Structure 1
Amino acid sequence: METDKHDEQVHTSDAGLTDSHGNTLHSEIDLGDHHEEATDESLEEVHVDYSHHTKQQLAALIKDLAKDENFKHVDAVLREIKPLYDDMREKERAEALLRFIGAGGVNEDFDYKGDESDMIFDANFKLIRDRRAQYVRQQEERKGDNLKRKEDLLERIRVLADQENSDNQFEQFKELQKEWKTIGPVPGPQAKTLWANYHALVDRFYDNQSIYFELKELDRRRNLEAKAELCLRAEKLAEVAIIKDAIRELNELHHEFKHIGPVPKDDKEAIWQRFKAASDAVYAKRDAYLQNLQQELNVNLDHKAKLSDEVQEFANYQSDRIKEWNQKTKEILDIQKRWETVGGLPRAKAKEVNRKFWSAFKAFFNNKNTFFKKLDEERDRNLQMKNDLVQKALALKESNDWERTSNELKSLQQKWKEVGPVPEKFREKVFAEFKEACDYFFEQRRTQHGKVENEQVENLRAKEQVCQQLEAHTANGTASAEALKELQDQFNAIGFVPKKDITTIRNRYHEAVDKFVEAIQGFSEEDKNKLLLENELSDLKNDPMADRKIFQKEQAIRKKIGKIENDISLWKNNLEFFSRSQNADSVRTEFNEKIREATDHLKQLKDQLKLLKTV
């Protein structure tokens, strides 16, 4: 039976599909490939920021990547983390070189080997590179094998197409078509030519074979049923909740649709339009999803941009107070928690916003670490100095040279006061050791010499005389800051008094100083308060518990400052309220006076705090 000359045979071309007259047709193959390509790019994963990872985390990450078979994902992650890791390694190498040179080495002798993380990172990076190269070679070899198989198959189809009719010739041809479909990709330059030759041979087969028209129509009806089944599956994809899964399955359906043979001519356009409509419904759902996703990412971008701006003030923060560093740390960690609750960002903007946030974040903690490192180093030096003083005191505690040893121990006590604070966990222990050594000697001296009591009585009389001079100046109107300094030095230079008289003479002295300062002519209240504080600090310096008492004094002043600042803020808020009411002039005047007085007091307290820091 002659071949049906009315069947339009389909050929591939650069623009899509053409009929036997060379007219371009709307092709499900062309549209399917286009949508598949757009899908891969549109639905790529949200960008992950690795800039705040440590070296150990990056080394662990590349170790996992070495097991990943998805080389596209592996390459994308490596492009992110390799420059970060190299920067960290180069920074550590530079620091090691500085330490090497600082220890007396020369640049030419420096050999940096890195740490365990470097070895892990380099070994896995090389492993990934080797596995990828092997994978590419295997893919190229496989494509070459596929090319040879398809070329052999084309020759078999050519031979079959040119043979005389036989009973099972059509079945053989369909088997060859199935085999063609199962063969994988071939090298790109040969792919288009292979497809053109394949379709040309298919056309030749149908043109040259004496197959009954009914048999051809039966085959095409079967193809129509197969494509209708694909349409039904494609239509159901619009109900799939996870859009990425729907797109992935739709691409597979396009691949199957592409490889199913021709359908009856009258049904060709209808079946394609049905499949295209089902595809368009899924693509529309994808487009809506991407649009909503982009809106969400832009909202996230606004949130994170504000947090990035907010954290910038921490980048250059400096303080010499531990409590203030701890407070700032609490604040920045709160910002970090808010940052982590925000979702992903648009890929184009993610790197810039992340870098801005984490750069300021890291700068703050670098500054904090530098402060505490310096503080620890200083306190360690102070601990060593105080331990040295303890050893000297222990060496003197058994001495019988009372006068010389007493002077030496007093000198050690003075040096002790001049040494700054030590690490908290050693503070009580080292002080107890020093005090015990000093107390032991002085107790021995008191035991051996009854004159100690007489000396203390004399010291009491001397301190009473200083108090009398202070009281005389106050009564005569000759009080002055210079006289106070001189009498203060005299009082502090006098030794111990009888234990039962300590509180009495101390109270008399402080009361005399208070009245003395109050009687100084030409001094403002601020100057008088400063003078009283200086006197109190001078007294504290001679106290073995000076560190603790000065700290307690500082905390008391800070507490007052905090209360006054809160009061001022409250009064100012009340003023804004009264400014909107009538007949409130007297109230506003009262509140303004309170604010003025509190501001003056606040300034005095802050000046006292500055003075306290000099001790």
Structure 2
Amino acid sequence: MMDSQEKVLVPEEQNAETTAGTNNSAVEENNAATAETTDEVLKKVYKTKKEVVERIKEIAHGNDNPEKEEIDNLKTMFYKLHFAEREAEMKAYIEAGGEPEKYQIQPDEDEEVFKAEMGVIKEKRARIFLEQENLKQENLKKKQEIIEKIKALTTSPEEANKSFQEFKALQQEWKEIKLVPAEKANELWRNYQLYVEQFYDLLKLNSEAREYDFKKNLEIKARLCEAAEKLAEESDVISAFHQLQKLHQEFRETGPVAKELRESTWARFKAASTVINKRHQQHFEDLRAKEEENLAKKTTLCEKVEAITKEEKKGAADWEKATKEIIAIQAEWKTIGFAPQKMNVKIFERFRIACDGFFGGKAEYFKDLKQKFAENTEKKKALVEQAKALQDSTDWKSTSDKLITLQKEWKKIGVVPKKTGDLLWNEFLGACNHFFEARNAANAGTKNEERANLEKKQGIIEQLKALIEDAGENIQEKVRSLTDEYNATGHVPFKEKDRLYKEYHEVLDRLYKELNISAARRRLDNFKNNLKNVAEKGSNALDSERARLMRRYEQMKQEIQTYENNLGFLNAASKKGNSLIDEMNRKVQKLKDDMNLVYQKIKAIDAECNENEDK
């Protein structure tokens, strides 16, 4: 589009009369109207797709030849509006609560009409192009015939004056014939000017008519020079350039001036044209620079969108943040003008693909997120049902453990939509609270009992401390009685358990040390005291411990029997025999003491089991 506008149409040679039309004359003739149309295309702004479609219809069904520059501009404008409209529709759909993955692009009637009319224009352009090419060939043939006729006139100098009117008619006919093939235009024009000049040089007899013609042509060209010089004051550079093309056309079609004035007349016209051409050239250099700047800006925006698309997004918040950034970039894009034509569609396609890639990724993410939401919702619903099934249980210990496990599982499950999550959590929490409130109410008496047990055991510890200070008579019986009473007393509050245990055993250790109570007795007392902890693990733990002790008891019993049998075979007469007998008797006694301790432990377990059954 710009190449045809930027061509300098001023001839380069100094001889105005012989070379005024040699520099792209066909391009000047053919593109003068095109340049005006291009200027209007650059300035025309369409606000809606329907406006673009209406203009396309006018072109498709009008009589004018569709200009490629305008068609390309209309196509770019239509799809710019089309994609902006589609993005706005999708955004509105999502903001209204629609699901991105379910969004479907609806058929667009304007686009269908646009494509259909563009097809008509394509066929029309092809037809007109063919017609124009045929017309150019016909015009070429006509102008070649005119040149041959003028050439023939120059071969009869004596007939030049008589042929003057025929010569003028041929000149007029030449002016009326316009388009010719561009590759033939310069050669054609040079030949025409050559024989025109030759004919004028032959005009000797009718010098008055020749001088009159020179004078009239000089007046016309002087006026054209003045008009060209005045164009320097024109503020609209494009308009000035277009007007200059018309002046050039008229300058070429005007006949020659006197030979001595030809060079100066052409020099004046060329100087005025140079000013306009330089302004025009600078205008398009500035326009190209601006378009290159726009291309750089749009390339940067494409890179930003592509970078945002590649960034790792850890959650919905990251996607929403990125969406706002993309929308801001799209808004900025709309404020930037056109890029160079050869890149304008390409850079827009790059931007569109980058944006589509982002929103496609976003739709896929939220599709997966919705699936995860559905899975998590089902998991939490299952936990709610399990909690509800346990809420009326009176198996306090077991059910407490189960509900605590369910609560831990709940925390491991991912997020669900807030509204649904709140409803499920309220149901789950309600079921848990229902059970724990019932358990707390049932255990209120247990807590009072544990507090009473604490006070009772603290009283026993105080009595044991008093025995250290004042032993008195039957001290061992008193200690045994107090330890039995302590062991028979039930549970105390959990937070007081360790402190009480430590204090109790410190007192007993001092008493045993002071009273020289046997280690076996101390082990038995410790065993009885630890039975409470074993009992808390359940009846199976007590049974397991009793079975282990019974095996140990039977083993000791067999060992004692073995030793006693062996003692009957030993010879007590020898000194060595007496020593061995004494050693075996000591082992037997030790085994009997240990067996008795095991027996006492078994009795203690039986007593604990009976106590638990009574509860």
Q: Give TM-score scaled by structure 2 length.
A: 0.48
The higher radius of gyration belongs to: 2
Q: Give TM-score scaled by structure 1 length.
A: 0.48
